[in-house]
C-alpha cells in the first residue's frame, strides 16, 4: 500500500483532507512514495439546472455568509417557485389536463436525510414543505391532499397557483386537448440545485410543476429521491431536468452519483447517465433530458440529449452560465 500524504490548503475556496471514498477514486498508483498529492477542493459552490441566475445568486448569498448547503439550496430554488414567469415551477406553473397545478419537490441533506412532496396543490413553496416532511415527520414522501393538509398544519398559506397567463394558455390548449405527452424539447424548466458549503458538505433540492397538461395524478422524476435528485456527502450529488419518465427508468441521479463513486468525474458520469437513457430509447429524438452533477472536490459537469441545456454555476471565481455538451449535436 502506498502512503499518501495530502497537503492542506487553507482558504475558503480550498480544503485539504478528503474522505476515504474520494481517496479511493484518486489515480495515484504511479506516484512514488511520499510525494505529496494536492487535491484542491473548490467551495462553496452553487449550481442549478438552466440559467436561473437569481436562484444561484440567492444560494450564494447564503453560502457566502457561512450558511449551510441545505439552507442554500432551499432558499435558492424558492426564488424560482415564487417567480410567476417561470411556468414550470411553483406559482405560475402550467396545470395538468384538468386545469389543476400540481407540484412535485424533494430535498436531501448531507446525512442522507430526505423529504418529498408529490401532487401538491395550492402551496407556493413545495420545497419548504418537503423540508418539513424531512425534518418533522418519520416519513419521506407525502402526497396530494395529505401533503396539502400537512402544509397548512405547518403554517403554509393557501395560494392560487394558476396565473392569468397559464389560465389563458390552458384554455387555448383545451380547444384541441391533445391527450398525448407534449414534448417540448427546449422548454423544461424544472430547477434542480446542488450546493457545497464552506464545510465541504453537499445538499440538493429539486422542484417543478411537472410536464404541462400531464394526466391528472402524474408524478415525474423531480420528487423521487434517486431519480430527480440524489446526494451522497461522501461522493457528490446529481439532479435532472427533462422528461421524468426516462429519468425514473434509469434512476438517473443515483446512477450518476454511483458512477462518481467509482471514479468518474461529474462530466463523465452525466454523459454515461444520458447514454444509458439513449440505449433504452435508440433512435428516439423527441425528448430532452439534462443532468447536472457536483463531486466532493467541487468539480461540476452536465450533459443532455439535445443542445440547449445549460447550468448556472456560482463560485468564488464568478457566476457563469455553463454550456453543456449534448448526445445529439443539433
Active site positions, annotated: 190
166 binds ligand ASP (CB under 6 A): no
C-alpha–C-alpha distance, residues 210 and 247, integer Å? 13
Instruction: State in angstroms the smallest separation of the CB of 280 from ligand ASP.
Output: 16
Q: Which is nearer to ligand ASP, 119 or 296 (CB)?
A: 119
Closer CB to ligand ASP, 75 or 222, in the complex: 222
Q: How far is the CB of 19 from ligand ASP (least distance, A)?
A: 31
In sequence order, the β-bridge partners of residue 323 are: 310
Count, in order, helices (H) and strands (E) of the chain.
9, 13
Integer CA distances (angstroms), 115 to 127, 137, 140, 147, in order: 9, 9, 5, 11
Question: Can residue 130 be called a binding residue for ligand ASP (CB under 6 A)?
Answer: no
Binding-site size for ligand ASP (CB under 6 A) equals: 13
**Residue selected from 48, 72, 194, 211 as contacting ligand ASP according to rule CB under 6 A:** 211
Measure the CA angle with vertex 207, ends 205 and 209; round to 5°: 175
* Contacts of 297 by beta carbon, 8 Å cutoff, 6+ apart: 18, 22, 39, 40, 41, 42
Which residues 6+ apart lie within 8 Å of 148 measured at CB? 120, 121, 122, 123
Among 222, 239, 295, 297, binds ligand ASP (CB under 6 A): 222
Count of CB atoms situated within 10 Å of the CB of 141: 19
Helix (H) or strand (E) holding 293: strand 289-295
Q: Does 190 bind ligand ASP (CB under 6 A)?
A: yes
Nine cell digits for residue 153 = 398544519
Beta strands in 10-90 (DSSP E): 45-49
Of 242 and 266, nearer to ligand ASP (C-beta) is 242
CB nearer to ligand ASP: pick between 190 and 315:
190
Contact flag: residue 188 with ligand ASP (CB under 6 A): yes
Does residue number 90 form part of the binding site for ligand ASP (CB under 6 A)? no
Minimum CB–partner distance for residue 110 and ligand ASP (Å): 24
**Nearest residue (CB) to ligand ASP, 62 versus 248:** 248
The Cα–Cα gap between 148 and 299 comes to 37
Cβ neighbourhood burial of 5 (10 Å; 0-12, 13-18, 19+): exposed
CB of 243 to ligand ASP, least distance (A): 6
Nearer to ligand ASP, 78 or 191 (CB): 191
Instruction: Write the binding mask 240 to 259 for ligand ASP: x where contact by CB under 6 A, - elsewhere.
Output: -xxxx---------------
301 touching ligand ASP, by CB under 6 A: no
Considering the rule CB under 6 A, would residue 208 count as an interface residue with ligand ASP? yes
Q: Are 73 and 44 in contact (CB under 8 A)?
A: no
Please tell me whether residue 220 binds ligand ASP under the rule CB under 6 A: yes
Q: Does 55 bind ligand ASP (CB under 6 A)?
A: no
Q: Does 88 help bind ligand ASP (rule: CB under 6 A)?
A: yes
Q: By the criterion CB under 6 A, which residues form the site for ligand ASP?
A: 88, 188, 190, 208, 210-211, 220-222, 241-244
Amino acid at each position: 500500500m502506498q502512503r499518501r500524504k495530502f497537503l492542506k490548503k487553507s482558504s475558503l475556496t480550498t480544503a485539504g483532507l478528503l474522505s476515504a471514498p474520494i481517496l479511493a477514486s484518486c489515480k495515484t498508483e504511479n506516484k512514488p512514495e511520499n510525494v505529496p498529492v494536492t487535491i484542491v477542493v473548490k467551495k462553496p459552490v452553487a449550481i442549478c439546472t438552466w440559467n436561473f441566475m437569481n436562484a444561484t445568486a440567492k444560494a450564494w448569498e447564503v453560502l457566502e455568509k457561512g450558511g449551510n448547503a441545505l439552507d442554500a439550496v432551499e432558499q435558492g430554488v424558492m426564488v424560482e417557485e415564487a417567480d410567476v414567469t417561470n411556468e414550470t415551477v411553483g406559482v405560475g406553473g402550467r396545470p395538468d389536463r384538468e386545469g389543476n397545478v400540481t407540484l412535485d419537490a424533494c430535498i436531501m441533506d448531507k446525512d442522507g436525510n430526505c423529504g418529498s412532496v408529490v401532487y401538491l396543490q395550492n402551496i407556493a413553496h413545495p420545497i419548504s414543505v418537503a423540508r418539513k416532511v424531512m425534518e418533522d415527520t418519520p416519513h419521506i414522501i407525502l402526497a396530494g391532499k395529505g401533503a396539502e393538509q400537512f402544509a397548512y398544519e405547518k403554517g403554509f398559506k393557501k395560494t392560487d397557483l394558476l396565473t392569468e397567463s397559464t389560465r389563458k394558455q390552458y384554455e387555448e390548449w383545451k380547444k384541441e386537448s391533445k391527450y398525448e405527452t407534449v414534448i417540448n424539447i427546449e422548454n423544461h424548466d424544472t430547477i434542480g440545485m446542488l450546493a457545497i458549503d464552506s464545510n465541504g458538505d453537499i445538499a440538493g433540492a429539486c422542484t417543478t410543476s411537472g410536464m404541462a397538461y400531464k394526466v391528472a395524478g402524474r408524478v415525474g422524476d423531480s420528487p423521487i429521491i434517486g431519480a430527480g435528485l440524489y446526494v451522497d456527502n461522501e461522493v457528490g450529488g446529481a439532479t435532472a431536468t427533462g422528461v421524468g419518465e426516462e429519468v425514473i427508468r434509469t434512476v438517473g441521479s443515483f446512477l450518476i452519483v454511483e458512477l462518481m463513486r467509482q471514479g468518474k468525474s461529474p462530466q463523465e458520469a452525466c454523459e454515461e447517465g444520458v447514454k444509458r437513457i439513449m440505449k433504452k430509447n435508440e433512435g428516439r429524438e423527441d425528448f430532452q433530458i439534462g443532468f447536472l452533477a457536483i463531486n466532493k472536490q467541487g468539480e461540476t459537469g452536465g450533459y443532455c440529449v439535445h443542445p440547449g441545456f445549460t447550468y448556472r454555476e456560482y463560485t468564488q471565481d464568478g457566476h457563469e452560465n455553463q454550456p453543456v455538451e449534448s448526445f445529439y449535436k443539433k
